[in-house]
Amino acid sequence: SSVVGGAGLGALNPDDQEDLQRLYNWVDEIPLSRPKKNISRDFADGVLMAEVVSHLFPKLVELHNYSAANSVAKKVYNWNTLNQRVFKKMGFQLESTDVDDVVNAKPYTIEKILRQFQIMSDVYRVRVATRQTMEPTSGHMPGLPSSMQQQPPSPPIHTSPPHQPVAPAAPSRPTPP
């Protein structure tokens, strides 16, 4: 069954105007490279979704992998890249029908995906934070900004005892024949 379409996490009732408005307000707080005119069409190529991910988890997405697209094939490629490289790491995946629907700007599909992403962002943050707590020396956590990364421990500083001069060896005596 579809991740975003069912009654599971991320299910969004398009008739709930308050829920939709909260989602739109959340998206409006994120700086995007293009103005939003029609959210279904604006997000269809996956670029703005990659920017949303990058805003929250800069290390989790490489924006240069996503380019604006008009062809369905390129849009599908962008969404499949997000699905495999980003969403999978976050613990969810879109079904191919979800990708087809968002690429074709089916009404309320992007809203459902954004809602699912919101929920899974919180889950992912907790999972990463828990991993950091349990593995304090693990260092880099993919997806977290460097300011939130746990720094690897510094190597211990060894201080050598002060240098002791070595006494010259006593001259050797020739052994009698």
pLDDT digits (tens, 9 = 90+) for 132-177: 777 555 444 455 444 444 444 444 444 444 445 555 555 555 555 6
Domain contains 81: yes
Give residue 108's domain range. Answer: 17-141
Number of structural domains found in the chain: 1
Please name the residue that has the structure tokens 């020396």: 137
- Does this model's pTM top 0.75? no
Residues 124, 91: Cα–Cα separation, whole Å: 7
Residues 7, 4: Cα–Cα separation, whole Å: 8
Lowest mean pLDDT among 38-42, 54-58, 130-134: 130-134
Which CATH number do you get for residue 33? 1.10.418.10
Residues 79, 53: Cα–Cα separation, whole Å: 12
Q: How confident is the model at residue 67 (pLDDT cuts 50, 70, 90)?
A: very high
Domain contains 174: no
